[in-house]
């Protein structure tokens, strides 16, 4: 889930601005829908105060931290989805802007040609070509002139028709650009809101941890390990490994090799490499390295990739965790997975059953 491509390229921004200006310019367009005025993102509110439970109950602290980081993960997925939308919508705006520029250039050329024809007629005294032919005393010239007039009339009619079509295209592009700009602004606002939520949840978790003494932090870390080990033991005791015997495909092996090569790199919300990753940033980058592009967020990966039974799981498959699909990892075999856990942690290998499993998906199926 991640920062990824954090900003739009300068060219895209410039062309988006061009669309906004062109959408209401001159006689080239019918009036498009009004361009929405961007609403400034409100400044982040103060991080809500988080206090330790009575008597520093570390079990309660552990649960509270899990909830805060889980909420940050959900917000990160929302941020990543909004970022993908803004990038896609920006690219569509760039394409529209280019079409508008091409259309305006073509319209200007057609106007110049029609204007040149009008000026030529003015210089000839304003008489239409047919009248000048009737006044000619040369029969051969008359016959040749008739053919030229027909060709000229056809060309002029064609130019006028093309001007009308170009005008209509420009009006359509302007309306599309205005609508696309509105969608882009909506995505930007969603992205900003998710970013604000992420920062608040992480800040609250850090504030809570900062109230602990060194020994208490060590004990809290031990509680986390114990909880993960207990969940893994319970998962393995079900005999699940007896049924899991799938072999990795060539692409699956490449994905696993990439993912395990990232071990030790820091988690960063919104990041998709190469130095930091969030959970779905790591899985999507791993499968991209194997030549299989997959959706960016854990929720999209769960929704769009083929599902397989846990007993049919093989290395390279992705394990989705929690009911809201807010976390994802890659199965590497022997009941283990590799994942980017949360802020403050690094990419690591853990038990595949150390968190509640929602299901398994298979890229490249």
Active site annotation includes 17 = no
Tokens standing for residue 311: 């007993």
Q: How many CB atoms within 10 Å of residue 355?
A: 22
Degrees, nearest 5: CA angle 56-62-63: 110
- The pair of structure tokens assigned to 44 is 């982040």
> H/E element holding 350?
strand 348-351
Catalytic residue among 17, 62, 70, 327: 327
**Tokens (6 digits) for 346:** 């690094």
* Residue 62 annotated to the active site: no
How far apart, in Å, are the Cα atoms of 255 and each of 97, 182, 286? 38, 38, 5
Please tell me which residue in 62, 70, 307, 339 is annotated as part of the active site.
Answer: 339
Reference 190, options 80, 271, 47; nearest CA is 80
* 93 CB neighbour count, 10 Å cutoff: 25
Tokens of 285: 């980058």
Residue closest to 4 by CA, chosen among 280, 257, 256, 246: 280
Catalytic residue among 17, 62, 70, 279: 279
- Distance in angstroms (rounded) separating the CA atoms of residues 146 and 138: 12
CA–CA gap between residue 11 and residue 270 (Å, rounded) = 23
Other beta carbons less than 10 A from residue 147's beta carbon: 9
Catalytic residues: 279, 327, 339
């Amino acid at each position: 889930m991640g920062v990824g491509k954090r900003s739009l390229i300068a060219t895209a921004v410039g062309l988006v601005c061009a669309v906004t200006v062109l959408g209401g310019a001159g006689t080239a367009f019918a009036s498009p829908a009004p361009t929405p005025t961007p609403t400034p993102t409100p400044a982040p509110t103060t991080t809500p105060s988080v206090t330790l439970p009575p008597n520093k109950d570390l079990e309660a602290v552990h649960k509270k931290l899990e909830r805060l980081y889980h909420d940050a993960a959900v917000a990160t997925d929302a941020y990543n989805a909004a970022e993908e939308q803004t990038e896609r919508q920006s690219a569509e705006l760039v394409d529209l802007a280019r079409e508008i520029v091409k259309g305006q250039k073509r319209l200007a050329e057609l106007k110049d040609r029609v204007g040149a024809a009008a000026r030529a007629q003015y210089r000839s005294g304003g008489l239409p070509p047919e009248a000048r032919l009737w006044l000619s005393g040369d029969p051969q010239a008359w016959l040749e002139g008739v053919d030229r007039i027909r060709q000229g009339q056809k060309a002029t009619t064609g130019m006028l028709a093309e001007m009308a079509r170009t005008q209509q295209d420009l009006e359509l592009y302007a309306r599309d650009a205005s609508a696309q700009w509105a969608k882009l602004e909506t995505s930007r606002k969603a992205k900003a809101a998710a970013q604000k939520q992420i920062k608040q949840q992480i800040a609250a978790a850090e504030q809570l941890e900062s109230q602990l003494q060194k020994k208490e932090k060590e004990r809290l870390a031990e509680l986390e390990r114990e909880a993960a080990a207990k969940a893994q033991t319970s998962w393995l005791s079900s005999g699940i490994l007896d049924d899991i015997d799938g072999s990795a495909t060539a692409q699956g092996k490449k994905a696993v090799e990439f993912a395990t090569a990232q071990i030790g790199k820091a988690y960063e919300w919104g990041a998709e490499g190469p130095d930091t990753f969030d959970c779905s940033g790591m899985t999507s980058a791993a499968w991209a390295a194997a030549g299989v592009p997959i959706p960016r967020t854990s929720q999209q990966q769960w929704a769009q990739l083929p599902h397989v039974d846990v007993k049919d799981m093989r290395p390279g498959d992705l394990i989705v965790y929690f009911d809201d699909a807010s976390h994802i990892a890659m199965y590497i075999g022997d009941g283990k997975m590799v994942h980017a856990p949360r802020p403050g942690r690094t990419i690591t290998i853990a038990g595949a059953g150390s968190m509640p499993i929602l299901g398994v998906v298979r890229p490249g199926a």
